[in-house]
Structures are given as C-alpha cells and as structure tokens.
C-alpha cells in the first residue's frame, strides 16, 4: 500500500496495491479559507521538520482530528484506537462512520490480537475485507503522561498492513533529541508512520494544528476535510509566531535557545515528577514526558484540590469523569522550559502542604 486513502467518494487520490492503480472519484470544493504565502511556508517547514512529504495546517488543534479523521476514513473501513486516546480522536473516529475497535492502552500484543481477529472476520454482516484499517495512537498521552510504545505499535501495524496515525499534540517540540517528537524519541523512521498529526498550542505557544503525510494524502485532505473546505485559515499573525518558534527550536535564529529549552523541558519535568514521588504522591507518566498527572482518585477531591491550590496561589488543571474513569480523578501539570527551579520548588512546597491536608500521599499510606 503506497498511501492512506481518504474516505470513499468525493476525493482526490491515487492508491497503488499489488501493482494495480485505482482512481477514486474527484470532487472539488470552493475554498475561501484565506491561505497566504505564510501558510505555505509553515506547511513546508512542518513537513521537513517531521520528515514527511507535505503537511496541511488547520486553525484549531481539536478540529485537526475531528475534521481530519472523517476525511480519511468512512464506511467499510476500520479504526483501531488506543483506549486512552484524546476526545478529539474519539469524536473524529465516530464522525467518520468507520467501525471502531479499541485496544488496551499501549499494549501491542492486544493490538495484534484485535487486528488478527478483525482481518479474519472482515466487515460486519457481509464479512467482506475491510477497505482500509487505521491504527491510532498518541505520542504522549495527554491525561497519562505516558510515551507511546511506538516501535512495537508500528511493528504490529506493518505486519498486518494497517495504516498508522500518530497524534503528537504533546510530543512535538517537546520530546526527542531535537524536538521532532515521538518518532525521534523511540527511534522510528517517520516513513513508517502514514499520518503524523500535531498541534501548535503547546510547544509552539500558538494555536491550530497540522496533518503531515504524503503529497497525495495532503492534497486529498485539502479537498475533503471540513477543516479546510468550510473553515477559516490560521491567523497570519499566529502563523508567523509558529514559524519563528520552529526556527528557534532548530537553531535557525542563530542562537542555542531552542536546544537549551529542549534540555530544560526534560530536566524540569523529571525534577518535578521526582519531587512529587518523594513526598509520597501517586504520579503517572514516563520520564522525559512534560505531562505530569498527580492522582486524586476520589471525585470529591477534584474541586477541593483546585480550591486549595488557588488559595495557595497555584493555578492547576483538575480532571475527572468523563475525561478519566470516575475513580481515577487527577490534577494534570504541564511542565515547560519556562519554569525556573525556584518556581518548581515553590510549587512543590505548596503541593506538599495541600497533599498532607487532603490525604493525597498514597505512597506513604493507603489512606493518604
């Protein structure tokens, strides 16, 4: 399979399979999104940065998944999604009309079992072969802080000739030696990943998102995605801001600021996570991940923790059902390179007092 085809009907795409070429019908929308030369420059920059042929930028991170996935998948296709994928992936998959199966979080063995069974059974009722199968994962899981076991996931997907889609909202510009995301971090060739998606709302301090892949895939998205055909383009001001951020990360601004920030985001995250564990808090996530979830567990502690932090001068994000299971409530800290050690130490001491009062030191005692 040369490339991921877009949804059947009303698209532009050429797909090669077993040395045979099939053409999919063409439908062209009138675009009034306001694309400028800056948008083109950013798209070229994104594609080169992540190691793909082309990229397309959307004006909203959430909308990148929710409008991009329905353009890629449709009736007769299968999406196999990690159980902890972001809501934007879940809603985009549902809107596509594809059949959805869920595999255990970061479990390549369970993914393989689901793919094997799905291929053997085929489509519901008719048992015809699936038109296409897409495996969807995240680079860094937004509520867990865990890094995807991408090498194992890619190995399984390639074995069963399934396409793979990686959401790098929290990993692009944050993990990997040069900030190129989970592929670089895990030692996976970007060519082995069919679709790389990311956002500009985290590491780049802007807004919007992108999907990168082959030229044929990107041209199809421009035609078929509602995030392109009936949506405005990113603000040129934001586009220029993101371009500047890319130049800083790559050192093209003539400084070592980008390299230093990549070092600091990892050091700060690991330091903060380690201190929370030392005080006895239950913390999820992997070393090197900028997402640090502190577990609250009890739903009644969600609002209480937020209020206690506010009184101490800390602004925190608390998360509960339906974003997490009912009894796995948490506070999510996103650590950046902009945090000074003094800032982190001050926050840790305040959290220590709050965690003691609220009985959150579960590693010290089952009762906190």
Nearest Cα residue to 103 out of 171, 175, 156: 156
Element housing 319 (H / E) = strand 317-319
Radius of gyration over alpha carbons of the chain, in Å?
Answer: 21
pLDDT band for position 24 (50/70/90)?
very low
Report the CATH number that the domain containing residue 346 is assigned in CATH. 3.90.1150.10
- Give percent of the chain above pLDDT 70: 91
The 195-199 sheet, strands edge to edge? 54-58, 209-213, 195-199, 163-167, 133-138, 78-82, 99-103
Tell which of 195, 227, 250 closes a domain: 250
Tell which of 199, 228, 250 closes a domain: 250
* Segment 268-308, tens digit of pLDDT: 999 999 999 999 999 999 999 999 999 999 999 999 999 99
pLDDT at 368: 73
2 within some domain: no
| Residue 110 lies in domain | 13-250
Answer yes or no: is pLDDT of 25 > 80. Answer: no
79 within some domain: yes
- Residue 129 DSSP code: P
Structural domain count, the chain: 2
pLDDT band for position 34 (50/70/90)?
confident
1 within some domain: no
Residues 276 and 222 in one domain: no
Answer yes or no: is pLDDT of 313 > 50. Answer: yes
Residue 283, strand partner residues: 294
Answer yes or no: is pLDDT of 28 > 70. Answer: no
Nearest Cα residue to 49 out of 239, 215, 222, 183: 183
Nearest Cα residue to 161 out of 130, 196, 186: 130
With a CB cutoff of 8 Å and minimum separation 6, the contacts of 352 are: 279
């Amino acid at each position: 399979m040369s490339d991921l085809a877009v949804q059947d009907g009303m698209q532009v795409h050429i797909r090669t399979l077993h040395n045979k070429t099939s053409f999919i019908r063409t439908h062209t929308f009138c675009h009034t999104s306001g694309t400028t030369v800056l948008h083109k420059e950013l798209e070229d920059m994104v594609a080169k940065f992540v190691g793909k042929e082309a990229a397309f930028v959307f004006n909203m991170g959430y909308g990148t998944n929710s409008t991009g996935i329905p353009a890629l998948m449709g009736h007769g296709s299968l999406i196999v999604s990690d159980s902890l994928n972001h809501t934007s992936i879940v809603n985009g998959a549902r809107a596509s009309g594809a059949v959805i199966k869920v595999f255990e979080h970061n479990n390549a063995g369970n993914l393989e079992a689901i793919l094997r069974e799905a291929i053997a059974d085929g489509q519901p009722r008719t048992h015809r072969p699936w038109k296409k199968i897409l495996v969807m994962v995240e680079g860094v899981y937004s509520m867990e802080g865990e890094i995807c076991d991408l090498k194992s996931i890619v190995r399984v997907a390639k074995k069963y000739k399934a396409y793979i889609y990686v959401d790098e909202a929290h990993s692009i510009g944050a993990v990997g030696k040069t900030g190129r995301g989970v592929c670089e971090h895990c030692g996976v060739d970007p060519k082995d990943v069919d679709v790389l998606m990311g956002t500009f709302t985290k590491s780049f301090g802007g807004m919007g998102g992108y999907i990168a892949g082959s030229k044929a895939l990107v041209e199809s998205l421009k035609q078929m995605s509602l995030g392109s055909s009936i949506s405005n383009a990113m603000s040129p001001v934001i586009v220029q801001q993101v371009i500047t951020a890319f130049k800083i990360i790559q050192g093209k601004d003539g400084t070592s600021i980008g390299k230093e920030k990549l070092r600091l985001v990892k050091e700060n995250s690991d330091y903060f996570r380690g201190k929370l564990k030392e005080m006895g808090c239950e913390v999820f996530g992997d070393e090197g991940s900028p997402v640090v979830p502190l577990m609250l567990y009890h739903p009644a502690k969600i609002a209480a923790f937020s209020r206690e932090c506010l009184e101490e001068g800390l602004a925190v994000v608390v998360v509960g059902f339906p974003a997490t299971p009912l009894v796995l409530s948490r506070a999510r800290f996103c650590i950046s390179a902009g945090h000074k050690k003094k800032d982190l130490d001050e926050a840790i001491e305040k959290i220590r007092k709050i965690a003691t009062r609220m009985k959150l030191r579960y590693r010290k005692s089952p009762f906190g």
